């Protein structure tokens, strides 16, 4: 570890750039020396890589961030099985650049490749193939977790093997573990609070860490099972739908025939066109080049003025985007980069929302054939006159997520981006909260910057069981925001609401 440490800085932000926070930062260079990152006296700590969470789940205002981006080394790869072990700060972009030419792809990917492996685990991210593959955590075979305490005394936890041969307290070494069943991989042996977690080893801590928002300790490496592919391209259909009822019909049909589905919705539309949009569905091409993405992209050089994204410009953009193709169905062959990561082509696109940043709102609602709750959300957005240039709709499948706090559940998920217009935006989002709460849905912590603690605890009733696995040195602005008022609501006993 370099031990590099800066004074308090606000340069580490979330992708939404709201709220702003001040941190002390420690940069971690080597996983073998990671204990130094947990030096007492720094207050609470939180891992941080590329800052692609939208709200304050990746912030630790007044505390310390452990910058893990230098943990960017691949450790082992089995070309027969596609099992990859890599350091926690390796980005999905790095994984793709390595794996695609070898005929493998990520089993699950979010809408950006600028996410670390540890971040993908900590938020148990999902993708366009949730109906077929579930969440990212379902494909994680193991990870190593460094804790500031001994977790052996916690329910469901066991300490990993002691390396008495090292003779050095706090030191680690690796060896090939032929008994692990993971060909080509190595397993770390420890004499401290380093824990190897998998569905079989320390399973409760594994379940707490997957979707655990980086609060259960510092991940040092992650082992995932990649999926084989025959081409870096996909056969894609883009289909116009006139309203939400047609969307659900198309989605059900597409889930049975396509690996990947997602829809963009014109949330400025109302009346007879409420919920109109474009559904994109795709399957891996049967043959073609195994060419990875390029790193060339345009960059937004400066912050846009707040007035750039206003109701009129958003409405005009949405109408133009919906009508950009005249045909009902358009069939194309696309590289994975344009299908999965269209926004990555524009670096710093979050600056388009101006200096006050943006708030993303992502919810999941139960769905049993009634699109009514979703229509209420779109009507509330249309009535507010605010609009969203990015409204993404997807039906989740019923594959269970492994994490205690994983967001996906069976139903329909909607993500909306709003320029931060202060109280007006917050009032709209509070109105949407009312609908989500009444319909038995929940919000996505990775995208949140303002949900109430009461709502969080209602949406995630396992939060108290999860809290037993939070490392005592770890915290975040989000975690404090949604848990610190729990005792006040219950007369001091802190029981869930």
Residue 252 CA to residue 254 CA, distance in Å, equals: 5
What is the band of 8 on the pLDDT scale with cuts at 50, 70, 90? confident
Max CA separation in the chain (angstroms): 74
Q: Which residue has the higher pLDDT, 174 or 231?
A: 231
In percent, the amount of the chain with pLDDT more than 70 equals 86
Structure-block tokens of residue 106: 């990520």
Residue 150 CA to residue 193 CA, distance in Å, equals: 5
The string of DSSP codes covering 463-488 is HHHHHTTS-TTB--HHHHHHHTTHHH
Q: What is the pLDDT of residues 320-359, one digit of tens each?
A: 788 877 889 999 999 999 999 999 999 988 998 888 999 9
Residue 496: is its pLDDT beyond 80? Answer: no
Residue 418: is its pLDDT beyond 70? Answer: yes
Residue 142: is its pLDDT beyond 60? Answer: yes
Q: What is the pLDDT of residues 105-132, one digit of tens each?
A: 999 999 999 999 999 999 999 999 999 9
Residue 186 CA to residue 179 CA, distance in Å, equals: 10
Q: Which residues, in sequence order, are CB contacts of 278 under 8 Å at separation 6+? A: 238, 239, 240, 241, 263, 264, 321, 322
What is the band of 483 on the pLDDT scale with cuts at 50, 70, 90? very high
Residue 76: is its pLDDT beyond 60? Answer: yes
Cα 491 to its chain centre, rounded Å, is: 34
Where b means 16+ CB within 10 Å and e means fewer, 2-26 reads eeeeeeeeeebbbbbbbbebebbbb
Q: Which residue has the higher pLDDT, 278 or 166?
A: 278
**Could you tell me which of 359, 388, 452 has the C-alpha nearest to residue 17?**
359
Q: Are the C-beta atoms of residues 48 and 12 closer than 8 Å to each other? A: yes
Mean pLDDT of 73-86: 98
Lowest mean pLDDT among 93-97, 424-428, 489-493: 489-493
In percent, the amount of the chain with pLDDT more than 90 equals 71
**Burial class (CB within 10 angstroms; exposed 0-12, middle 13-18, buried 19+) of 153:** exposed
Per-residue pLDDT, 160: 42
3-state secondary structure of 175: strand
Q: Give CA separation, 168 vs 165, 171, 172, 190, 192, in Å.
A: 8, 5, 8, 10, 10
Mean pLDDT of 297-324: 74
Q: Are the C-beta atoms of residues 55 and 448 closer than 8 Å to each other? A: yes
Residue 245: is its pLDDT beyond 90? Answer: yes
Cα 18 to its chain centre, rounded Å, is: 17
The string of DSSP codes covering 41-97 is TS-SEEEESS--SSSSTT--TTSEEEE-TT---EEEE-TTT-EEEEETT-BHHHHHH
Residue 312 CA to residue 348 CA, distance in Å, equals: 23
Most confident among 147-156, 310-319, 418-427 (mean pLDDT): 418-427
Mean of the per-residue pLDDT values of the chain: 87
Radius of gyration of the chain (CA): 22
Q: What is the pLDDT of residues 185-236, one digit of tens each?
A: 334 333 448 999 999 999 999 999 999 999 999 999 999 999 999 999 999 9
Q: What is the pLDDT of residues 246-292, one digit of tens each?
A: 999 999 999 999 999 999 999 888 888 889 999 999 999 999 999 99
Q: Are the C-beta atoms of residues 467 and 208 closer than 8 Å to each other? A: no
Residue 286 CA to residue 235 CA, distance in Å, equals: 9
Per-residue pLDDT, 306: 64
What is the band of 399 on the pLDDT scale with cuts at 50, 70, 90? very high
Q: Which residues, in sequence order, are CB contacts of 334 under 8 Å at separation 6+? A: 233, 234, 236, 282
**Could you tell me which of 411, 496, 491, 414 has the C-alpha nearest to residue 461?**
496
Q: What is the pLDDT of residues 52-61, one digit of tens each?
A: 999 999 999 9
Per-residue pLDDT, 186: 38
Q: Which residue has the higher pLDDT, 433 or 487?
A: 433
Residue 170: is its pLDDT beyond 80? Answer: no
**Could you tell me which of 127, 80, 129 has the C-alpha nearest to residue 104?**
80
Q: Are the C-beta atoms of residues 456 and 445 closer than 8 Å to each other? A: yes
**Burial class (CB within 10 angstroms; exposed 0-12, middle 13-18, buried 19+) of 298:** exposed
Q: Are the C-beta atoms of residues 384 and 435 closer than 8 Å to each other? A: no
Q: Which residues, in sequence order, are CB contacts of 25 under 8 Å at separation 6+? A: 5, 6, 9, 12, 48, 64, 65, 66, 67
Residue 144 CA to residue 340 CA, distance in Å, equals: 29
Per-residue pLDDT, 442: 98
Residue 18 CA to residue 426 CA, distance in Å, equals: 12
Residue 297: is its pLDDT beyond 80? Answer: no
Whether the predicted model's global pTM rises above the 0.75 cut: yes
- Dihedral sign for Cα atoms in the order 43, 45, 49, 54: negative
Strands (E), 345-441: 346-347, 358-365, 391-396, 411-419
What is the band of 150 on the pLDDT scale with cuts at 50, 70, 90? low
Where b means 16+ CB within 10 Å and e means fewer, 91-116 reads bbbbbbebbbeebbbbbbbbbbbbbb
Q: Which residue has the higher pLDDT, 387 or 83?
A: 83
Q: Are the C-beta atoms of residues 382 and 267 closer than 8 Å to each other? A: yes
Per-residue pLDDT, 312: 72
Q: What domains appear along the chain, each with residue ranges and CATH number?
A: 74-150+191-228 (3.30.465.10), 233-449 (3.30.70.2520)
């Amino acid at each position: 570890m370099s031990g590099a440490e800066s004074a308090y800085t606000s340069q580490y932000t979330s992708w939404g750039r709201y709220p702003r926070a001040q941190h002390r930062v420690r940069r971690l260079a080597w996983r073998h020396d990671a204990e130094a990152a947990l030096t007492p006296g720094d207050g609470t700590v939180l891992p941080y890589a590329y800052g692609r969470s939208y709200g304050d789940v990746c912030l630790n205002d007044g505390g310390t961030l452990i910058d893990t981006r230098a943990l960017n080394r691949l450790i082992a790869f089995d070309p027969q099985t596609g099992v990859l072990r890599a350091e926690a700060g390796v980005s999905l972009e790095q994984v793709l650049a390595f794996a695609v030419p070898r005929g493998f792809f990520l089993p699950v990917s979010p809408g950006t490749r600028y996410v670390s492996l540890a971040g993908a685990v900590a938020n148990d991210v999902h993708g366009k193939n949730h109906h077929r593959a579930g969440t990212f955590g379902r494909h994680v075979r193991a990870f190593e977790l460094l804790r500031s305490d001994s977790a052996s005394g916690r329910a469901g936890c066991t300490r990993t093997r002691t390396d008495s041969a090292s003779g050095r307290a706090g030191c680690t070494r690796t060896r090939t573990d032929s008994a692990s069943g993971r060909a080509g991989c190595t397993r770390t042996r420890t004499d401290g609070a380093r824990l190897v977690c998998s569905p079989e080893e320390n399973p409760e801590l594994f379940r707490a860490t997957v979707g655990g928002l980086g609060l259960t300790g510092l991940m040092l490496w992650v082992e995932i099972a990649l999926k084989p592919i025959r081409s870096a391209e996909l056969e894609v259909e883009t289909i116009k739908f006139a309203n939400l009822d047609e969307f659900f019909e198309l989605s059900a049909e597409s889930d049975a025939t396509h690996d990947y589905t997602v829809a963009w919705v014109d949330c400025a539309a109302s009346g007879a066109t409420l919920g109109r949009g474009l559904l994109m569905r795709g399957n891996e091409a049967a043959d073609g080049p195994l060419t990875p993405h390029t790193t060339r992209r345009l960059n937004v050089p400066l912050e846009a003025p707040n007035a750039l994204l206003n109701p009129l410009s958003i409405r005009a953009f949405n109408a133009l985007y919906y009508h950009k193709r005249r045909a009902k169905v358009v069939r194309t062959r696309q590289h994975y980069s344009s299908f999965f990561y269209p926004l990555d082509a524009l670096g710093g696109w979050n600056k388009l929302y101006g200096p006050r940043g943006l708030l993303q709102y992502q919810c999941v609602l139960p769905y049993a054939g009634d699109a009514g709750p979703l229509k209420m959300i779109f009507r509330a957005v249309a009535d507010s006159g605010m609009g969203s240039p990015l409204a993404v709709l997807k039906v989740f499948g019923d594959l269970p997520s492994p994490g205690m706090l994983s967001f996906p559940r069976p139903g329909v998920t909607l993500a909306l981006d709003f320029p931060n217009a202060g109280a007006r935006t917050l009032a709209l989002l509070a109105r949407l909260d009312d609908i989500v709460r009444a319909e038995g849905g929940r919000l996505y912590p990775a995208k949140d910057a303002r949900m109430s603690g009461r709502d969080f605890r209602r949406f995630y009733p396992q939060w108290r069981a999860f809290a037993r696995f939070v490392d005592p040195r770890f915290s975040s602005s989000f975690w404090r925001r949604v848990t610190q008022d729990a005792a006040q609501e219950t007369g001091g006993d802190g029981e869930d609401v």
